[in-house]
Amino acid sequence: MRVKGWGVVLSVCLLGWMGCEPASDAPSPGAQAAEEMLVEEPGERDQEEALMAPTPEVEGPAGELAAKVYEAHGGPRWPQVKELGFRFVVKAGEEERFAATHDWKVWDGEDRVQWTDNEGQAWDVTVDLASREASEATLDGTPVEGEPLKAAGEAAYQRWVNDAYWLLMPIKVFDPGVSLEYGGEVGEEGQRRQVLELSFEGVGLTPGDRYEVQVDPQTGEVRAWTMHLQGDRPPSTVLWGGYEELGPLRLPLERTWEGGERQIVFDTLRVQ
Structural element, H or E, at residue 81: none
Residue-level pLDDT at 24: 31
Counted domains in the chain: 1
Distance between CA atoms of residues 43 and 27, nearest Å: 28
Binned at pLDDT 50, 70 and 90, residue 183 comes out as very high
Domain assignment of residue 25, yes or no: yes
Neighbours of 104 (CB within 10 A): 24
Domain assignment of residue 210, yes or no: yes
Q: Which residues on adjacent β-strands are paired with residue 115?
A: 100, 123
Residue-level pLDDT at 205: 60
**122: containing domain:** 11-271
pTM of the full predicted structure?
0.83
Domain assignment of residue 54, yes or no: yes
Q: Among 162, 203, 153, which Cα is nearest to 179's?
A: 203
Own/partner contacts of 262-266, CB < 8 Å, gap of 24 or more, are 262/17, 262/90, 262/91, 262/92, 263/90, 263/91, 263/92, 264/15, 264/88, 264/89, 264/90, 264/91, 264/166, 265/89, 265/91, 266/86, 266/87, 266/88, 266/89, 266/167
Domain assignment of residue 259, yes or no: yes
Domain assignment of residue 250, yes or no: yes
Contact (Cβ atoms closer than 8 angstroms) between residue 91 and residue 263: yes
Binned at pLDDT 50, 70 and 90, residue 233 comes out as confident
Residue-level pLDDT at 44: 53
Neighbours of 74 (CB within 10 A): 22
User: CA–CA distance from 52 to each of 16, 140, 184, 260 (Å)?
Assistant: 35, 41, 30, 39
Neighbours of 45 (CB within 10 A): 8
Sign of the dihedral defined by the CA atoms of residues 272, 170, 218, 68, in that order: positive
Residue-level pLDDT at 201: 84
Sign of the dihedral defined by the CA atoms of residues 28, 174, 73, 183, in that order: negative
Domain assignment of residue 4, yes or no: no
Q: Among 207, 255, 264, 202, which Cα is nearest to 231's?
A: 207
Binned at pLDDT 50, 70 and 90, residue 154 comes out as very high
Domain assignment of residue 6, yes or no: no
Residue-level pLDDT at 51: 86
Residue-level pLDDT at 35: 31
Domain assignment of residue 130, yes or no: yes
The CATH number for 41's domain is 2.50.20
